[in-house]
């Protein structure tokens, strides 16, 4: 594998992965790592229940772009609200919007383009990138399927509507999304069998469709080993001498489960390295609910791993 571009060097970051693997946590940590580098960052969640606000401790994130703290802008992009807004932004004035979007033929056309919502989200992301001069944009993708759809849409529309003002914009969007010097799709996974399988599927799909350049694999919630060879040998030795001691046997059960878990994790981390992407591992943080201090810790790991 040739040396990958450093994690923090690209302009547009899509954080993808299956539900619940930690996309929002990774997106927030990545945004913070970028801000620490002095970048002007837009962190976008896509029509999600607000997870960024609580994780970053910056109040509610909504459809209004807001500078939550110096250098860090937050927004929730809602596809329905974005649709008209994007058209107005790109077409510039309402009359043309009406002509194009409220025209019977156009409406019929749009029905045949199932990804219009994703297009408008892409449009907003692109518009933010160009108009507001954010040096970095981090998109917390909704889930694997939607994430890919979001990436693919600009190209689909650019191909389907090759003329007119919208076509010009979508073509530029598609170019940005596909440019390996500017864009990266990061795949978040867990050190568990199914999530790693899903990460392999996702990498295969992104590669097959060529929708966007792949970035890093982020293996989230890594426990890390407590038991080295010596400790495992000690466990076996103690087990051999535990006869009627119920309390000790119970503790040994727990320790052995942990050893098994660590073995499983080792196997799955190795499989994650087979994804063919540079890998960054993030530690499992033992907290009932992650908050700002945890995001800062993970941001440091991302900076070190990049």
Ligand X SMILES: Nc1ncnc2c1ncn2[C@@H]1O[C@H](COP(=O)(O)OP(=O)(O)OP(=O)(O)O)[C@@H](O)[C@H]1O
Under DSSP, the state recorded for 153 is H
Q: Total residues contacting ligand X (rule CB under 6 A)?
A: 17
Of 35, 44, 51, 217, which one interacts with ligand X (CB under 6 A)? 51
Of 74, 90, 62, give the one whose Cα is nearest residue 137: 74
Q: How far is the CB of 203 from ligand X (least distance, A)?
A: 17
Of 89, 86, 155, 144, give the one whose Cα is nearest residue 117: 86
**Binding segment toward ligand X, per CB under 6 A, in 18-26, 205-213, 258-266, 268-276:** 18-26
Compute how many other C-beta atoms are within 10 angstroms of the C-beta atom of residue 145. Answer: 13
Q: Which residues pair with 67 in a beta bridge?
A: 73
Q: Token pair for residue 211? A: 């929708």
**Binding segment toward ligand X, per CB under 6 A, in 16-24, 148-156, 165-173, 267-275:** 16-24
Q: Is the dihedral of CA 250, 255, 256, 261 positive or negative?
A: positive
Of 10, 12, 22, 177, which one interacts with ligand X (CB under 6 A)? 22
Tell me whether residue 117 or residue 144 sits nearer to ligand X (CB atom).
144
Tell me whether residue 79 or residue 169 sits nearer to Mg ion (CB atom).
79
Q: Token pair for residue 238? A: 């103690």
CB 214 within 8 A of CB 7: no
Q: How far is the CB of 110 from Mg ion (least distance, A)?
A: 28
Q: Which does 25 bind (CB under 5 to 8 A by kind): Mg ion, ligand X, none?
A: ligand X
Q: For residue 268, state whether it binds ligand X (rule: CB under 6 A).
A: no
Q: Token pair for residue 182? A: 């500017």
DSSP per-residue letters across 198-232: HHHHHHHHHHHHT-S-EEEEEEEEE---S--HHHH
Q: For residue 220, state whether it binds ligand X (rule: CB under 6 A).
A: yes
Q: How far is the CB of 233 from ligand X (least distance, A)?
A: 30
Draw the binding track, 275-304, toward ligand X (x: CB under 6 A; -: no contact): -------x-xx----x--------------
Tell me whether residue 24 or residue 220 sits nearer to Mg ion (CB atom).
24
User: Which residue is listed with tokens 């703290």?
Assistant: 69
Q: For residue 10, state whether it binds ligand X (rule: CB under 6 A).
A: no
């Amino acid at each position: 594998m040739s040396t990958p571009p450093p994690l923090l060097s690209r302009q547009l970051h899509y954080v993808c992965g299956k539900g619940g693997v930690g996309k929002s946590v990774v997106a927030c940590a990545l945004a913070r790592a970028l801000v620490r580098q002095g970048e002007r960052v837009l962190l976008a969640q896509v029509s999600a229940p607000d997870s960024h606000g609580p994780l970053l401790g910056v109040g509610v994130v909504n459809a209004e772009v807001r500078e939550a703290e110096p250098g860090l802008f937050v927004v929730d992009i809602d596809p329905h609200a974005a649709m008209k807004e994007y058209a107005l932004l790109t077409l510039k004035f309402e009359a043309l919007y009406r002509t194009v979007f409220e025209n019977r033929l156009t409406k019929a056309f749009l029905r045949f383009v199932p990804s219009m919502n994703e297009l408008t989200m892409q449009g907003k992301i692109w518009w933010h990138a160009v108009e507001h001069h954010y040096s970095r944009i981090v998109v917390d993708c909704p889930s694997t399927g939607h994430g890919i759809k979001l990436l693919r849409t600009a190209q689909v529309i650019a191909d389907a509507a090759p003329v007119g003002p919208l076509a010009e914009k979508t073509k530029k969007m598609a170019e940005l999304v596909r440019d390996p010097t500017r864009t990266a799709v990061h795949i978040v996974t867990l050190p568990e069998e199914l999530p790693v399988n899903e990460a392999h599927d996702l990498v295969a799909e992104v590669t097959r469709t060529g929708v966007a350049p792949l970035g890093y694999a982020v293996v989230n919630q890594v426990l890390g080993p407590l038991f080295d060879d010596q400790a495992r040998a000690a466990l076996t030795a103690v087990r051999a001498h535990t006869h009627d001691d119920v309390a000790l046997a119970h503790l040994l059960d727990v320790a052995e489960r942990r050893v098994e878990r660590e073995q499983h994790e080792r196997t799955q981390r190795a499989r994650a390295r087979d994804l063919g992407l540079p890998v960054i591992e993030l530690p499992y943080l033992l907290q009932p609910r992650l908050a700002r201090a945890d995001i800062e810790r993970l941001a440091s790991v991302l900076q070190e791993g990049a």
